[in-house]
Amino acid sequence: MLNPRRMPPHRRDGFLLAAACFLIGITFGVFADSAGLSLGKASALSLLTFTGASQFAAVSVVAGGGTTVAAVGGAVLIGARNALYGPVVGPMLRGGRLRRALGAHFVIDETTAMASTQDGVDVARDAFWFTGLWLFVFWNVGTVLGVVVGGAFDDPGALGLDAAFPAAFLAMLAPHLRTRPGLVAAIGGGAIALVAVPTTAAGVPMLLAALAILPGLWIQRRGGSRTRDDGAGSAS
């Protein structure tokens, strides 16, 4: 039986993050059920899409009476931000095309966050795969459970499970705020979102805010990835 206390720190953190996302998976299942999706359709979204923001966006469109094209388009638009994680995760993935294709399926916010906070490529790679595999399991089990129990509630929002989604993002963001690149990306993304939310369509603000990772990557390459507590600011 897994014991997080005996795991290396990166595996412990990845497992706990994946376990926390179990609640988000349940939330998705509950709302998918309330939107009229069957267990098979909800599970297919979790298995094949495996990116929570896109899945929630698609279900929201369906729940609002939107077309399939609108649902897929919104989901693709939001999911496109994951392409920006390529420069961070790409160097960590080894193996042939099949292994790299499987790795691409796991390139999401949580795995990228866990991998990018590690010291050393080998540890980062292990954090990526370990977090991704466990999150995939928790997310899909949570989806099934959410759909199964969702029918028992007239108002899924009364459960308060929607708070799990932003809480998980805050947990991922916290370690990055201790570094200059992470702080710059967070401030930049927040500023972009503040401007974009009232002026652009749903889903676009998240995509635009993801662009804030670019100045963060530039600072990191310049040698500014040391923690602020260590006096980061000069290139090493």
Q: Is residue 186 a contact partner of residue 170, using CB atoms and an 8 Å limit?
A: no
Q: Do 16 and 91 belong together in one domain?
A: yes
Closest among 176, 187, 217, 177 to 85, alpha carbons compared:
217
Where is the domain boundary, 152, 169, 203? 152
Mean pLDDT of the region 204-209: 73
Q: Do 94 and 12 belong together in one domain?
A: yes
How many domains, in total, are found in the chain? 2
Whether residue 57 is contained in a domain is answered as yes
Mean pLDDT of the region 56-77: 76
Phi/psi of residue 179, each to 5°?
A: -115, 155
The pLDDT-based confidence of 225 (bands split at 50, 70, 90) is very low
Whether residue 172 is contained in a domain is answered as no
Mean pLDDT of the region 113-139: 90
> Domain of 206?
177-230
Mean pLDDT of the chain: 79
Where is the domain boundary, 118, 152, 186? 152
Is residue 57 predicted with pLDDT exceeding 70? yes
Query: Looking at this protein, which amino acid is placed at residue 160?
Result: G
Q: Do 183 and 217 belong together in one domain?
A: yes
Taking the whole predicted model, whether its pTM rises above 0.85 is answered as no
Is residue 60 predicted with pLDDT exceeding 70? yes
Whether residue 110 is contained in a domain is answered as yes
